[in-house]
Chain A
Amino acid sequence: MPLTSRELASGFAAIAARMEVSAEELNRLDAEIGDGDLGVTMVRIGRGVGDVLDDLPDDVGMALTKCVQAITKVSGSSYATVVAIALMSAAKACKGRSEVPWSEMSALLAGACQATMERGKAALGDKTVIDALDACRQATAGLDEPAAIVAAMGRAVNEVLERMRPQPCRIGRARIFGDKTVGLDDPGMVAFRCMIEGIAGGK
C-alpha cells in the first residue's frame, strides 16, 4: 500500500506517543549544549500535530501542510521550524496526490535535506539533523517497502550519530560550546532517531 493520508496519520500518532516518552532524555541532552528544552519542543510538536490527525485531507500534500501549520502554531523554536521546513518540502512534492509510492521516500528526504540546508544555513558535516536526513536519503535509495525503509533509516541514523560524535558542532547555539560538543551527540539528530523509533515501534 502506498503512502496515504491515513498512513501519515498513524505514523505521526506513533511519533507523538514516542515524544512523550523521550522528552526527558532530549531535554537532558539539549541542556548539555543548548537551552534544555528540545524535549518540551518535541512534545509540543507531537501534541499539536496530534490534534489535527483525525481531520487530515486525502491529498497527502495538503495533509502534510496541515501538520506543518499545526507545528508552526505550537512552537517557534528553531528545531520546530527545521522540522516544519523539512515536512513542507515533502508537502510541496506530494501536493495533488492521494497516494505516493514509498519508492519516493529517498527523493522526499533529499528535498527535505536541501530545503533545510537552504533555509537553515547549515551544511553537511555541521553535525545537525541535516547529516541524519542525508544519511537516510542514501540508505533508502531504491527501497519501496515501508518496513525496510524504516529499518534502513534507523541503521543510517545510528551510523551517522556514531560518525559525528567525535566532531564539534559547527552551527547554532551549540557552536558556542565548540570543543565541549566533541564526544556528545547532536540533540536534533537524537530527536530524529526518536521519531524513526516511534514509527518502527508503531508498525
Chain B
Amino acid sequence: MKKILNDVYSYVDEMLVGLCAAHPEYYAQTAEGARVIKRSDAPIKGKVGLVTGGGSGHLPVFTGYVGQGLLDAAAIGDVFASPSADQMVEAMRAADGGAGILCIYGNYGGDVMNFSMARDLIEMEDIRTTAVVLADDVASAKAAEAEKRRGVAGLIYAYKVAGAAADAGENLDEVTRLARKAADSVRSIGAALTSCTVPQAGKPTFQIGETEMEMGMGIHGEPGVWRGPMRTADKIAAEMMDTLLADQRLAAGDRASVLINSLGATPPEELYILYRYVKRRLDDLGVKIVMPLVGRYATSMEMAGVSFTFCKLDEELERYLKAPAECAFWKV
C-alpha cells in the first residue's frame, strides 16, 4: 500500500480536521474529534434540516456536500463502514432548526439499519424525521427488484434538489417529496479499471489484470456484471448508456442532467472523452442535456474508473437543480 497518511487508524479523523481547517466557511465538526460535520452556520432556525451519512472514502460524498443549498450535517464512519446510530443522532441534532429532519442516504445495510435506529431515537425527543434512500445503481439488481439496488452518485441530485427546496422554505413533507422525486429520477452505472485500497486493509480490495476492466462494479469494489478485456472509451460509454437507457427511457423532447463521475483516479481528460460520446448520443435522440457535470463527485478512494448518472428532469426538478448552492467541491 502506498498512501499519504500517518496512521491507518487516524486516517478519517485527520482527514476531517484538515477538511474543516481548509474550508471553515462551509464545514465545522460538532465537537473536537467528532465524526460529524455540520454547516458552519447550522442549525438554521425554521429550515428543514438535511442530514446524510455513510462511510469515508467517497469524497465529496458524504461530508463534502454540507453547505448552503445542500446538506446541513453528515455523519461519517471509517473507510467504507457505516457511522453509528449515535453519530447519526448527533448529526440530526446539529441540523435541527425546528422544522424537522430529512435523512438522505444510500441503500447499504449498515447505513439503513443505523439511520432507522437513529430516527427512532431522535423521534423520542419529538423531532419529526423522514428518509429518502437512494437505490440508483442499475447494475446491482434488476428493475423488478429496484429497491435492492445500491445507492451511488445519484445521491448528489437528491442532495441538491432537497437542499434547494429546504432553502426555499418548503416544509418537511414537501422537501421529502422533492428528494424522493429526484431519487426516483436518477439511474447510475459504474465501470472500474483498477481496485481501491482501504487503508486499514492495506492491500487492494480486489485483483484485476492490467488489460482488464469490470462493468457494473460497486463503489466499494462489489462485483460487477462482467469482467473482460479493456475496451475503447466509446465502447465503454455505449454499453453504459445502453444499460441506463434500457432502465429509464429518454426520448426526443426530454431533458436530463448527466453526471460523468471519476471514481477517484480517472483524470478529467478521460471523462471529457466519455462526455463527448454521451452528448452526441443524447443529441441524436433529441434529449436536451441540462447542467452537465463532469468531474469527481462520488469517488471510491483511488479507484480508476467512471460512473454515469442520468437524472431525468421535469420543470420542478430542473428549477431546484439550478438554484444556487455552494460547498467546497461544487458551486451552482
Report A's interface with B, CB cutoff 8 A: 61-62, 65, 68-69, 72-73, 76, 78, 81, 84-85, 88, 91-92, 95, 119-121
Contact = CB atoms under 8 A, between A and B. Distances in A.
Interface of B: 82, 84-86, 89, 109-110, 112-114, 116-118, 120-121, 124
B201 to A, nearest CB: 15
A85 B116 contact: yes
B113 A85 contact: yes
B120 A88 contact: yes
Contacts of A61: 124
Contacts of B82: 76
Contact of B114 (A76, A91, A92, A121): A76
Contacts, number: 50
A127 B23 CA distance: 49
Contact of B85 (A72, A91, A92): A72
Nearest to A88: B120
Contacts of A68: 117, 120-121
A121 B85 contact: no
A159 to B, nearest CB: 29
10 contacts: A69-B89, A72-B86, A72-B89, A72-B118, A72-B121, A81-B117, A85-B113, A88-B121, A91-B124, A121-B109
Q: Considering residues A61, A68, A76, A121, which has the most beta carbons from chain B within 10 angstroms of its beta carbon? A: A76
Nearest to B85: A72
Contacts of B116: 85, 119
- 4 closest cross-chain pairs (CB), A and B: A72-B85, A72-B86, A76-B84, A65-B124
A76 B118 CA distance: 12
A176 B120 CA distance: 31
Given A76-B114, A119-B113, A81 B85 contact: yes
A84 B124 CA distance: 14
Contact of A81 (B113, B121, B124): B113
A68 B120 CA distance: 10
A91 B119 CA distance: 13
Contacts of A69: 86, 89, 121
A65 B123 CA distance: 10
Contacts of B124: 61-62, 65, 91-92, 95
A84 B109 contact: no
Contacts of B114: 72, 76, 81
Given A88-B120, A92-B124, A120-B113, 19 more contacts: A65-B124, A68-B117, A69-B89, A72-B114, A72-B118, A72-B121, A73-B84, A76-B85, A76-B114, A78-B113, A81-B114, A81-B117, A84-B117, A85-B116, A88-B121, A92-B120, A95-B124, A119-B112, A119-B113
Q: Considering residues A62, A92, A119, A121, which has the most beta carbons from chain B within 10 angstroms of its beta carbon? A: A119
Given A62-B124, A65-B124, A72 B84 contact: yes
A65 B119 CA distance: 12
A121 B147 CA distance: 13
Contacts of B118: 72
Nearest to B88: A72
Nearest to B82: A76
A84 B114 CA distance: 10
Contacts of B84: 72-73, 76
A73 B86 contact: yes
A99 to B, nearest CB: 18
Nearest to B109: A121
Contacts of B89: 69, 72
B16 to A, nearest CB: 18
A68 B121 CA distance: 8
A61 B118 CA distance: 16
B111 to A, nearest CB: 11
